[in-house]
Amino acid sequence: MAYQIEGKTIEHDEEGYITNINEWTSDLAGIIAKDEGIDMTDEHWEVVNFLRDYYNEYQIAPAVRVLVKAIKKKFGPEKGSNKYLYELFPYGPAKQACKIAGLPKPTGCV
């Protein structure tokens, strides 16, 4: 199970989450997004970049609430909602956006 990108092989798990987060590149994000049926826009990138920054600081993806707050700050109150994030990432902002951002899948009762 691996993504092929520019002659490089990047391993992923059964669901497409890459196994080594250091192998992530923005080109790879585009490929994963395509597999998910998502066309990356600036708003998508904003979420993905925020997730990666947060992960670098805390070694975990942010809570949905934290993400909503950050997006609200950036794009205004009409986009600062869970609903808006689901419009961007229909399978759920936490899981689908994490996959595109190259982060591990959030586990547990979520």
Partner 1 sequence: MAKEEFQVPEVREHLEIPPVVEGAMAHSQPFVAAADHQSLLGYPEELVDGWEDKAVEKMGEMARKYRSFRVFLDACVKCGACTDKCHYYLGTGDPKNMPVARQDLLRQVYRRYYTLGGKLFPGLVGAKDMSKEIFDDWYRYYHQCSQCRRCSVFCPYGIDTAEISMAAREIMDSVGLGQKYCNEIIGKVHKIGNNLGLPLPALEDTMEGLEEDVEEDTGVAVKYPVNVEGAEVLLVTPSADFFAEPHVDGLIGYGKVFHQAGVSWTVSSHASEAANFALFTGSYEHMFKISNRIREAALELGVKRIVFGECGHAWRVAYSFLNTLAGPWDFLDPRYPVPQHIMEFTYDLIQRGGINLDPEANDDKVVTVHDSCNVARASRMGTRPGDQFAYPRAVIKASVNRFVEMDPNTTMEATFCCGGGGGLLTDDLMELRVKGALPRMEALKEVVERDGVTHMAAMCAICKSQFTKVLPYYGMGMDMVVSVHQLVSEAIQLGTKD
Query: Residue 91 gets which letter from DSSP?
Result: T
Binding site residues, partner 1, CB under 8 A: 14-16, 36-37, 57-60, 62-66, 69, 82-83, 86, 90-92, 94-96, 99, 104, 106-110
**Token couple for 38:** 């998502």
109 classed as catalytic: yes
Closest to partner 1 by CB, 25 or 110: 110
Tally of CB atoms within 10 A around 32: 23
Q: Which amino acid is at 55?
A: Y
Which entry of 37, 39, 42, 109 is annotated as an active-site residue? 109
Backbone φ, ψ for residue 102 (5° rounding): 80, 15
Write down the least CB distance from residue 72 to partner 1, Å.
11
Residues belonging to the active site: 109
